[in-house]
Amino acid sequence: MIMTIDQNQLSSADFIKNEVLTLGFIKGQTSVANRFPELYGEAAIAYDIYSGKHKKSTPTDFIFGCELIMEVENKSCIIFIEAEVLQNYSLATYALSMCESDGAQKKLIRKFHFDYDPQGNSTFDKKPKYHLQYGGKATSKLKENDISTECLQHWLSVPRFSIIPINLALLLDTIFNEFPSEETKKITEGNEWRKMIKTNEDKILLPYFKSVSQFISSNHKSTSLFRDFVYGE
């Protein structure tokens, strides 16, 4: 059996099920409701849609988006987070977009995509299975807010940098830790939040590092580099 970097990845159904659990967790956090009402509200709406009492089947796709107002290096910024995971990982992408605003207009200043692409590579379009991409085309939230991506040269899709896997919980935790405030510290250092992140690390990161460890310890030689492993070759 050929070893792959994503051989222990959750099935898309289980991955999506876990994302819905994260929405349910956020829905129950008064600390999030008090500091980030937009996140709390959108999570509550999405959770009810994905896990409604009358829903007869588990979701095969997961789409979520939200706007956060955060202080970033002494400036008030609007941050959009978006997630789209489709059945069988035909698409699995998370976006973080940062905008500054003068009240009348929002200007895009940073935009990152965190992608999982298990579909393989063509000869001239190699990409790590788990990769980070700067820039890229406008996402749904940017289109809704009429925010241009021209300033980031959105036509350019490379380079793509290898990263660890990510999901909604881990992305939010990163954002709250990278843009810290008294309010975010109250959230991220709370016992409930830490337990939730630990659960997600166990589900998302442990399988990844297990695969990496197996590769490094058993199959790492000049004819089979870690770079090859990352690119799914």
* Residue carrying structure tokens 């009240």: 103
Token pair in block for residue 216: 């490094």
Specify the pLDDT at position 132.
Answer: 95
Token pair in block for residue 164: 């660890």
The answer to whether the beta carbons of residues 169 and 196 sit under 8 Å apart is: yes
In the chain the beta strands, taken as DSSP E runs, fall at 62-72, 75-85, 92-101, 106-116, 130-134, 160-162
Pairwise CA distance, residues 142 & 78, whole Å: 11
Specify the pLDDT at position 57.
Answer: 67
The answer to whether the beta carbons of residues 149 and 87 sit under 8 Å apart is: no
Checking 103-106 for CB contacts under 8 A at 24+ apart, the result is: 106/78, 106/145, 106/147
Specify the pLDDT at position 141.
Answer: 83
Local structure of 28: helix, strand or coil: coil
Pairwise CA distance, residues 87 & 64, whole Å: 15
Specify which residues 94 forms β-bridges with.
83, 114
Pairwise CA distance, residues 145 & 108, whole Å: 11
Specify the pLDDT at position 158.
Answer: 73
Q: Report the chain's C-alpha Rg in angstroms.
A: 19
pTM assigned to the model: 0.91
Ranges under pLDDT 70 in the chain: 1, 53-57, 103-104, 120-124, 155-156
Helices (H) and strands (E) in the chain, counts: 9, 6
Tens-place pLDDT, residues 93-126: 999 999 887 766 788 888 999 999 998 665 567 8
The answer to whether the beta carbons of residues 136 and 150 sit under 8 Å apart is: no
The answer to whether the beta carbons of residues 97 and 80 sit under 8 Å apart is: yes
Among residues 82, 94, 180, 165, which one has the least CA distance to residue 128? 165
Specify the pLDDT at position 208.
Answer: 97
Dihedrals phi, psi of 98, to nearest 5 degrees: -115, 130
